[in-house]
């Protein structure tokens, strides 16, 4: 049920939740991985220089500033209304419904 996607997805889900709007995820089943818990999701990190510079040339921070530049974030299942795939729509509880869609039951 946790959704790992491009950075900013979690913020959009929070905004949808705060405004009482549904939040749907569209994803091909080829990207669905049965992982128990978000602690097992590996998040790719990009170069800190991407956020410390403009176009990799003009430094916009003071020297020695540390930066964290994740490429993805993780959206918890309670913020996701449904996950739409080419094989069907998964709804909470996601572990069960995704396993059914993937034919793992």
pTM, two decimal places = 0.79
Q: Which pLDDT value is given to residue 31?
A: 86
pLDDT tens string, the chain, 105 residues long: the values are 788 899 999 999 999 999 999 999 999 998 887 666 677 778 889 989 999 999 888 899 998 899 999 999 999 999 999 999 999 999 998 888 988 998 887
How many domains does the structure of the chain reveal? 1
Range of the domain at 38: 3-102
Find the CATH number of the domain harbouring 53: 3.40.50.10470
Q: Strands 82-85 and 24-26, how do they pair?
A: parallel
| CA 44 and chain centroid, separation | 11
Report CA dihedral (70, 75, 76, 81) to the nearest 10 degrees.
-170
Strand-pair partners of 90: 83
Q: Which pLDDT value is given to residue 77?
A: 92
């Amino acid at each position: 049920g946790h959704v790992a996607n491009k950075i900013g997805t979690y913020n959009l889900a929070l905004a949808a939740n705060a405004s009482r709007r549904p939040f749907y995820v569209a994803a091909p089943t080829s990207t669905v991985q049965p992982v128990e818990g978000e602690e097992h999701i590996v998040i790719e990190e990009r170069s800190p220089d991407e956020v410390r510079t403009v176009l990799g040339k003009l430094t916009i921070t003071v020297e020695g500033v540390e930066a964290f530049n994740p490429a993805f974030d993780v959206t918890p299942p309670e913020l996701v209304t449904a996950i739409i795939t080419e094989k069907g729509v998964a709804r909470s509880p996601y572990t069960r419904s995704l396993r059914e869609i993937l034919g793992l039951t």
